[in-house]
DNA sequence: GATTTACTTGAGTGATTGCTCAAATATATA
DNA sequence: TATATATTTGAGCAATCACTCAAGTAAATC
């Protein structure tokens, strides 16, 4: 059965994700990745194929580890209003956390050139669409149950939320004051009726 | 007084901006720039110093050429409501225009690594702050004149607008359907009372 | 213990990166 | 027309890029 792997795949993937998150895809060199993942050239290409292929795997990892956990705030809390605030609280907590890179992997690491790659573009589009769909379902439930006002349009509100969050992630990577973003978000939620 | 320049500075700057806009800072090579600007190595370094210095100049150029013209929609139209819709119309027109790169130069070209450069970060932060301040002033006027409801908070609304627009730019670079973004934006404006 | 198989190691690939520099060229002034 | 000065030209720099490959090593199976 041959020699055993000397590193844990999930652990290495997590470390790679952090590098891409912090430096962006283009500015992350193989040397950066190998150093952080603590493996050598051969092991890398043997396991992950190439840089882009690893990147796609870290996008998947991000979806499972980060986005999914954030979505949980909506499903585990008793109401949408409480849940969505809990979700944003989590986002802002990450902004202050020095260990977590600011912003969102999707926002930070994707260059225009990289998005010309159909495989990457498709993956990201799907990820965004899923996130929006998730919001939509949660919003619809909250409207149907009477928690939220009937005047709220779940479809459009879901897409507005996604757009706003993308902007928030961008601004946070511009080192805009976290408390400023927190205040405006709180106001934003009230104004759109959530 | 020596030999004359064989290219127009503003024209070359505009061409450079388009390359950065389309490919992002990192993925734009000097070869890309020289080809598009139609000048040679020496002329480049003689005139612009280096790649980063040119980039900062194109950011300035973008502020004057693109952002300023968009701001005009608010000052030349008779009301804020009409003006802001005219501004967004302009943005969406650019999304459909094949010649203009999708999204915003600031959103597309800035990598996390580049933002670690204090000069770049400061410039972008100021640009964003100015844009927000402009919205604030226009909103305040519209509220004072009675065009907009007194319940509208000009400061917070201005920052929400900036965040939303940043998100819109990001999503447009992800090739999200322009008509979808147009519909949700129209709804967004109504919901926040504009 | 021999063989097979998978992983690790590290030197090395050609291509590309941003940038330098000396020589050639063109223009305004003396 | 001669001189001073600014721009253009293109070869070439060291560094870095993603990636390859052959040799070495460790484990499972026979």
pLDDT digits over B50-62, tens only? 999 999 999 999 9
Backbone dihedral angles phi then psi of residue B6, each to the nearest 5 degrees: -100, 5
Give me A42's structure tokens.
């051969």
CA atoms within 13 A on the CB side of A16: 29
Q: Confirm whether B109 is domain-assigned.
A: yes
- pLDDT, tens digit, 9 for 90 and up, residues B15-39: 999 999 999 999 999 999 999 999 9
Task: Name the minimum distance, in Å, from the CA of B126 to any CA of chain A.
Answer: 11
| A39-97 pLDDT per residue, tens | 999 999 999 999 999 999 999 999 999 999 999 999 999 899 999 999 999 999 999 98
With an 8 Å Cβ cutoff, are A128 and B156 in contact?
no
Q: Give A80's contacts (C-beta < 8 A, 6+ positions apart).
A: A74, A138, A139, A141, A142, A147, A148, A194
Report how far apart, in Å, the C-alpha atoms of A19 and of each of A16, A107, B27, B118 are.
5, 14, 18, 21
Residues, CB < 7 Å to strand D: A 1-4, 28-32, 41-42, 45, 50-52; B 1-7, 39-43, 46-47
Residue A98 domain-assigned (yes or no): yes
How many Cβ atoms from other residues are within 10 Å of residue A10's Cβ?
Answer: 10
The pLDDT score that the predictor gives to residue B98 is 87
Write the burial class of residue B55 (CB in 10 Å: 0-12 exposed, 13-18 middle, 19+ buried): buried
What is the percentage of chain A residues whose pLDDT exceeds 90? Answer: 91
In this structure, is residue B40 part of a structural domain?
no
Residue A182: give its domain's CATH number. Answer: 1.10.357.10
Q: What is the pLDDT of residue A135?
A: 98
Asked whether residue B114 is assigned to any structural domain, the reply reads: yes
Yes or no, beta carbons of B176 and A125 under 8 Å apart: yes
Q: Confirm if A89 and A2 have CB atoms less than 8 A apart.
A: no
Contacts of B88 in chain A (CB under 8 A): none
Whether B9 shows a pLDDT value over 90: the answer reads yes
Residues 6+ apart with CB under 8 A from A171: A181, B128, B162, B163, B166
Check residue B133 and give its pLDDT: 97
Does residue A1 lie within any of the structural domains?
no
Whether B180 maps to a domain, the answer reads yes
> Could you read off the pLDDT of B69-113 as tens digits, one per residue?
999 999 999 899 999 999 999 999 999 998 888 889 988 899 999
pLDDT at position A178, please?
Answer: 94
Q: What is the mean pLDDT of residues A129-146?
A: 97
pLDDT tens digit sequence for B151-176: 999 999 999 999 999 999 999 999 99
Per-residue model confidence (pLDDT) at position A2? 81
* A180 and A114 Cβ atoms separated by less than 8 Å: no
pLDDT number for residue B93: 94
Whether residue B144 has pLDDT greater than 80:
yes
Dihedral sign computed on CA atoms, order B107, B108, B114, B119: negative
Question: For residue A4, how many C-alpha atoms fall within 13 Å in the half-sphere facing its CB?
Answer: 3
- pLDDT the model gives residue B2: 81
Does the pLDDT at position A100 exceed 90? no
Within 10 A of A154 (CB to CB), how many other CB atoms are there?
18
- Strand C proximity: list residues 2-41 of B with CB under 7 Å: 2-4, 28-32, 41
Q: How many domains does chain A have?
A: 1
Which of B22, B27, B167 lies closest to A167 in CB terms? Answer: B167
At B156 the pLDDT is 98
How far apart are alpha carbons A29 and A22 in whole angstroms?
12
Domain limits for position B120: 59-191
Task: Assess whether A43 (CB) lies less than 7 A from strand C.
Answer: yes
Question: Of B124, B125, B163, which has the smallest distance from its Cβ to A184's Cβ?
Answer: B163
Flag whether A47 is in a domain.
Answer: no
Could you give the C-alpha distances from A142 to A76, A152, A185, B192, in angstroms and in order?
A: 14, 10, 20, 20
Is A45 a domain residue?
Answer: no
């Amino acid at each position: 059965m041959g020699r055993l792997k000397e590193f844990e795949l999930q652990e290495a993937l997590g470390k790679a994700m952090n590098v891409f998150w912090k430096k962006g895809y283009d500015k992350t060199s193989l040397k950066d990745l190998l150093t952080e993942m603590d493996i050598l050239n051969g092991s890398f290409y043997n396991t992950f194929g190439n840089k882009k292929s690893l990147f796609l795997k870290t996008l998947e990892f991000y979806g499972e580890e980060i986005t999914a956990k954030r979505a949980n705030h909506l499903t585990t809390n008793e109401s949408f209003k409480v849940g969505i605030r809990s979700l944003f609280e989590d986002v802002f907590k990450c902004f202050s956390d020095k260990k977590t890179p600011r912003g969102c992997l999707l926002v930070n690491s994707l260059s225009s050139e990289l998005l010309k790659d159909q495989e990457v573009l498709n993956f990201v589009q799907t990820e965004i669409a899923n996130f929006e769909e998730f919001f939509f379902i949660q919003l619809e439930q909250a409207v149907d149950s009477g928690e939220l006002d009937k005047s709220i349009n779940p479809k459009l509100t879901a897409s507005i939320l996604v757009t706003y969050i993308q902007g928030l992630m961008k601004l946070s990577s511009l080192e805009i004051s976290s408390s400023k973003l927190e205040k405006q978000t709180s106001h934003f939620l009230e104004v759109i009726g959530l």
